[in-house]
């Protein structure tokens, strides 16, 4: 068999062209990602004021951080929201995707409505949910009162602020549902037909046909969800500002 090789000059030109086209992205990576990360790592070992040079303090900042009870509380709150929010959001997104996958009239409209909250700015959603969760006359408590259910102090009771925050975050689960919906489109109908011929019910078809195809999608959503929850800041900060004098409360 004759092996056809590309001339060295052509390979060099192709490599040079690829490097040139990659330069904007590489420059952005260095300036806006790698550079700030390395700078933050360096400044974490220094005492940097608003003016003047940074003074090297070694691991003192980390020692003070580990002794700070507020840091421990913040870590616990973050892990709590991540441990509960990620599986709940993924399960809810899967249910929404399965519902949106049914061939019914007006399907594109329902899909657009499900995805719409995901494109609303986070700050806007946070302020809207501040009104919904308000302890005094909030819309959610009014709705609970109509059916004679307890009306928690969502934004001032430490035992209810995290569940209220989860409700806010789950409002934007439509983006994950759309990703699941794209994964459902990859399942071959012939597999469902074969499973139905073998006598498989709806649950067994989901377990042995749908779920194996969606496993890579689920892994992706778990990773992205963990990153998103571990970086959570804006929503609790805005909710706290609306109820107390300083951010971080209640408790």
User: pLDDT tens for residues 61-117?
Assistant: 999 999 999 899 889 999 999 999 999 999 999 999 999 888 888 888 988 888 888
Start-to-end Cα distance in the chain: 74
> Same domain for 225 and 101?
yes
Q: Is residue 187 one of the residues assigned to a domain?
A: yes
pLDDT band at 243 (very low <50, low <70, confident <90, very high): low
Of all residues in the chain, the percent with pLDDT exceeding 90 is 27
> Same domain for 214 and 125?
yes
> Same domain for 30 and 114?
no
Q: Is residue 46 one of the residues assigned to a domain?
A: yes
Nearest one of 180, 178, 248, 244 to 216, comparing CA atoms: 180
**Per-residue pLDDT, 63:** 93
**Per-residue pLDDT, 7:** 55
**Per-residue pLDDT, 218:** 95
Q: What would the DSSP string read from start to end of 176-196?
A: HHHHHHHHHTTS-HHHHHHHH
Rounded to two decimals, the pTM is 0.76
Q: Is residue 3 one of the residues assigned to a domain?
A: no
> Same domain for 28 and 99?
no
Distance CA 17, CA 38 (A): 29
Q: Is residue 250 one of the residues assigned to a domain?
A: no
> Same domain for 53 and 74?
no
- Which domain, by its residues, includes 141? 68-241
**Per-residue pLDDT, 219:** 95
**Per-residue pLDDT, 224:** 94
For 102, the token pair is 């049914």
Pairing outcome for strands 46-47 and 55-56: antiparallel
Q: Is residue 30 one of the residues assigned to a domain?
A: yes
> Same domain for 123 and 149?
yes
> Same domain for 152 and 197?
yes
Q: Is residue 248 one of the residues assigned to a domain?
A: no
Of all residues in the chain, the percent with pLDDT exceeding 70 is 92
> Same domain for 158 and 188?
yes
Give the Cβ contact number of residue 227 at 10 Å: 11
> Same domain for 234 and 174?
yes
Domains held by the chain: number: 2
Between 51 and 76, the more confident residue is: 76
- CATH number of the domain enclosing 156: 1.10.3720.10
pLDDT band at 2 (very low <50, low <70, confident <90, very high): low
The pLDDT of residue 246 is above 80: no
CB 168 within 8 A of CB 129: yes
> Same domain for 99 and 118?
yes
**Per-residue pLDDT, 217:** 93
> Same domain for 199 and 153?
yes
The pLDDT of residue 44 is above 60: yes
Q: Is residue 21 one of the residues assigned to a domain?
A: yes
pLDDT band at 207 (very low <50, low <70, confident <90, very high): confident
> Same domain for 14 and 94?
no
For 210, the token pair is 């749908």
**Per-residue pLDDT, 148:** 85
Q: Is residue 40 one of the residues assigned to a domain?
A: yes
């Amino acid at each position: 068999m004759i092996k056809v090789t590309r001339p060295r000059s052509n390979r060099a030109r192709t490599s040079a062209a690829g490097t040139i086209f990659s330069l904007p992205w590489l420059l952005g990576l260095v300036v806006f990602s790698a550079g700030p990360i390395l700078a933050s790592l360096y400044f974490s070992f220094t005492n940097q004021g608003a003016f003047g040079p940074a003074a090297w303090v070694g691991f003192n900042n980390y020692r003070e951080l580990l002794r700070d009870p507020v840091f421990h509380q913040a870590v616990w709150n973050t892990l709590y929201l991540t441990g509960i929010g990620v599986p709940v959001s993924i399960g809810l997104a899967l249910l929404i995707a399965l519902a949106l996958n049914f061939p019914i009239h007006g399907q594109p409209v329902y899909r657009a409505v499900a995805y719409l909250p995901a494109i609303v700015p986070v700050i806007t959603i946070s302020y809207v949910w501040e009104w919904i969760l308000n302890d005094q006359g909030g819309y959610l408590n009014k709705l609970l009162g109509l059916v004679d259910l307890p009306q928690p102090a969502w934004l001032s009771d430490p035992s209810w602020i995290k569940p209220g925050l989860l409700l806010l975050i789950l409002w934007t689960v439509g983006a994950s549902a759309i990703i699941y919906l794209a994964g459902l489109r990859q399942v071959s109908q012939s597999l469902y037909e074969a499973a139905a011929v073998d006598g498989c019910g709806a649950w067994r078809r989901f377990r042995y046909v749908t779920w194996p195809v969606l496993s890579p999608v689920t892994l992706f959503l778990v990773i992205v969800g963990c990153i998103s929850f571990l970086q959570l800041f804006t929503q609790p900060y805005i909710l706290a500002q609306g109820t107390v004098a300083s951010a971080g409360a209640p408790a």
